[in-house]
Amino acid sequence: MKIVVCVKQTPDSEAKLTAQNGQPSWGDAPLVINPFDEYAVEGALQQKEAVDASVTALCIGPEAARDALKHALAMGADEAILVSDPALEELDSAGAARILAAAIQKIGDADLVFFGRQTIDNGTGLVPAQVARVLGWPLLSLVGAMTVEGAEIKVERTIEEGKQIARAKLPAVLSIMQSVGEPRYPSFMGIRKAGKATIPVWTLADLGIAAPAQAVWRAELLNPPAHDSHCEIIKADSPEAIAEALVEKILAEKVL
């Protein structure tokens, strides 16, 4: 069985997002593997142990995104592939899905594709569904537990009303919830393996597709309006006088 787990490199979860000149800024936050994707890697590694699967981590990003893949390798993934191309700097979720689907097809023979439930930077949560759509495979979203049974997978989905048990035929795309279990720490053996691993880089030419046209783009990002409040203590000789002054203030401020 072959599992492809898609990961993204994002700012650290403690990073603070601000708008600067209409563009997002994460300050000097360190870049890490998207925290939700760590759960996807954990889920894939649990399946690797349960059904003797191989796990390939896949990422779209610049050269520096290798670090996110190395983290997946250090956790226990067998292989990692980076898709990197200057033409991919601006991608919307549908574009990312097309690229990932092409890479998954190039990897070949995948039975399962795992995603984190969303990324912490853009956070659309759309890519798993869009990849499933491009590949024409079933999507099982918000999965908290799973069992592979022959050519099918049975999952427990976390939905608002409670839990739902669903089944799908393989190959399938899954988005993974935190209830899959805390992501394991990288082992030192994994760290040594990841440190030495050569991670192949695929360009658009390698995938044999053109850069997807951007359908959605972020025109401007605005900071939430700053709340300016001040406190004033009304002083007067009697409670009645204080109440009267308060009423006058409230009326003057047009609160009532």
Partner 1 sequence: MDFSLSPEQLMAQKMVRDFSQKEIAPIIKDYDRKQEPIPFMLKRMGELGILGICFPVRYGGQGMDYLSLGLACEELEALDTALRVAMSVHTGLCGMTLLQWGTAEQKRRLLTPLASGAKIGCGAFTEPGMGSDVAAMQTSARREGDVYLLNGEKMWISLAGVADYALVTARTDALAQKPSQALSTFLVDLNSPGVTRGNLHGKLGVRAGSTGWIAFQDVQVPLENRLGHEGEGFKITMSAFDHGRYTVASGATGLIRASLVASVAYAHERQAFGKAIGEYQLIQQKIAQMAQDYEVARLLYWQVGWMKNQGQRPTLQTSYAKKFATEASFEAANQAIQIYGAYGFSDEYDPERYLRNSRGAIIYEGSSEIQTLIQAGYALGEREDKPLRCELPAYDETFWQEN
- Using CB under 8 A as the criterion, which residues of the chain lie in contact with partner 1 when the complex forms? 67, 70-71, 74, 182, 185-189, 191-192, 194-195
Smallest gap from Cβ 204 to partner 1, in A, equals: 27
- For partner 1, give the closer residue by CB, 74 or 102: 74
SS3 22: coil
- For partner 1, give the closer residue by CB, 9 or 175: 9
- For partner 1, give the closer residue by CB, 189 or 241: 189
Mention every residue, 6+ apart, whose C-beta is less than 8 A from residue 79.
54, 55, 56, 57, 73
233: region left, alpha or beta (phi > 0 left; psi from -120 to 50 alpha): beta
Smallest gap from Cβ 191 to partner 1, in A, equals: 4
Smallest gap from Cβ 220 to partner 1, in A, equals: 29
Q: Which long-range contacts (CB under 8 A, 24 or more apart) does 105-108 make?
A: 105/135, 106/202, 106/206, 106/207, 107/2, 107/4, 107/56, 107/58, 107/81
Helices (H), 136-237: 188-196, 204-207
Smallest gap from Cβ 36 to partner 1, in A, equals: 16
- For partner 1, give the closer residue by CB, 38 or 111: 38
Smallest gap from Cβ 190 to partner 1, in A, equals: 9
- For partner 1, give the closer residue by CB, 6 or 72: 72
- For partner 1, give the closer residue by CB, 124 or 178: 178
Smallest gap from Cβ 81 to partner 1, in A, equals: 18
Smallest CA-to-CA distance from 40 within 7, 13, 70, 68 is with: 7
Smallest CA-to-CA distance from 75 within 222, 167, 223, 193 is with: 193
